[in-house]
Amino acid sequence: MKRIWFIPVLLTALFFIGCGNPVNTDDVLPPTVISSLPADAATDVARNRSVTATFSEAMNPVTVDVLSFSLAQGSIPVPATVSYEGLVATLVPTSDLASDSLFTATITVAVTDLAGNAMEADYVWSFNTGVYLAAGPSPVELGTSGDFVALAKSGISTTGTTAITGDIGVSPAAATYITGFSLSMDASNVFSTSSYVTGNVYAADYAVPTPANLTTAVGDMEIAYTDAAGRTLPDATELYSGDLSGKTISAGLYKWGTGVLINGSVTLSGGANDVWIFQIAQDLSVGNGAMVTLSGGALAKNVFWQVAGQTTLGTTSNFKGIILCKTLIEVNTGATINGRLLAQTAVTLDANALTEPAM
DSSP 322-358: EEEESS-EEE-TT-EEEEEEEESSEEEEES-EEEPPP
Range of the domain at 182: 143-355
| Domain shared by 121 and 197, yes or no | no
Pairing of strands 346-350, 88-93: unpaired
Q: Which of 129, 157, 186 is the last residue of a domain?
A: 129
- Decide if 136 is inside a domain: no
- Residue 225, classed as helix, strand or coil, is helix
| Domain shared by 77 and 213, yes or no | no
Supply the CATH number for residue 74's domain: 2.60.40.1220
- At 22 the pLDDT is 52
Q: State the DSSP string of 152-173.
A: ESSEEEEES--EEESEEEESSS
Mean pLDDT of 29-41: 95
**pLDDT at residue 297 is higher than 70:** yes
Measured at the CA of 52, the angle between CA 359 and CA 248, to 5 degrees, comes to 50
Q: Establish how many alpha carbons lie within 13 A of residue 339's alpha carbon, considering only the half-sphere containing its beta carbon.
A: 26
Dihedral angle, C-alpha 224, 228, 230, 232, nearest 10 °:
150
**pLDDT at residue 245 is higher than 90:** yes
- Decide if 16 is inside a domain: no
pLDDT-derived band at 113, boundaries 50, 70, 90: very high
Mean pLDDT of 316-323: 98
| Domain shared by 124 and 39, yes or no | yes
Mean pLDDT of 235-255: 98
| Domain shared by 235 and 293, yes or no | yes
pLDDT-derived band at 260, boundaries 50, 70, 90: very high
φ, ψ at 170 (rounded to 5°): -130, 145
**pLDDT at residue 6 is higher than 60:** no
| Domain shared by 250 and 339, yes or no | yes
pLDDT-derived band at 26, boundaries 50, 70, 90: confident
Interatomic CA distance for residues 59 and 316, integer angstroms: 45
Quick check: bond before 38 cis, omega within 30?
Answer: yes
**Residue among 346, 351, 348, 357 at smallest CA distance from 154:** 346
- Decide if 24 is inside a domain: no
Q: Which residues contact 122 (CB under 8 A, 6 or more apart)?
A: 106, 107, 108, 109
- At 237 the pLDDT is 98
| Domain shared by 112 and 147, yes or no | no
| Domain shared by 50 and 111, yes or no | yes
List for the chain the helix, strand, coil content (%; round to 5): 15, 40, 45
> In the chain, pLDDT over 90 holds for what percent of residues?
92
- Torsion sign (Cα): 182, 287, 344, 213: positive
| Domain shared by 73 and 151, yes or no | no
**pLDDT at residue 9 is higher than 50:** no
Q: State the DSSP string of 257-281.
A: SS-EEE-SEEEEE--TT--EEEEES
Domain count, the chain: 2
| Domain shared by 230 and 285, yes or no | yes
**pLDDT at residue 259 is higher than 80:** yes
Interatomic CA distance for residues 284 and 316, integer angstroms: 16
**pLDDT at residue 38 is higher than 80:** yes
| Domain shared by 125 and 151, yes or no | no
| Domain shared by 165 and 228, yes or no | yes
Q: Which residues contact 204 (CB under 8 A, 6 or more apart)?
A: 170, 171, 172, 173, 174, 210, 211, 214, 215
The one-letter amino acid code at 11 reads L
Interatomic CA distance for residues 82 and 69, integer angstroms: 7
* Digit-coded pLDDT (tens) for 193-229: 999 999 999 999 999 999 999 999 999 999 999 999 9
Interatomic CA distance for residues 101 and 92, integer angstroms: 17
- Torsion sign (Cα): 81, 105, 324, 268: positive
What is the chain's mean pLDDT, rounded? Answer: 93
- Decide if 119 is inside a domain: yes
Q: Which of 104, 129, 154 is the last residue of a domain?
A: 129
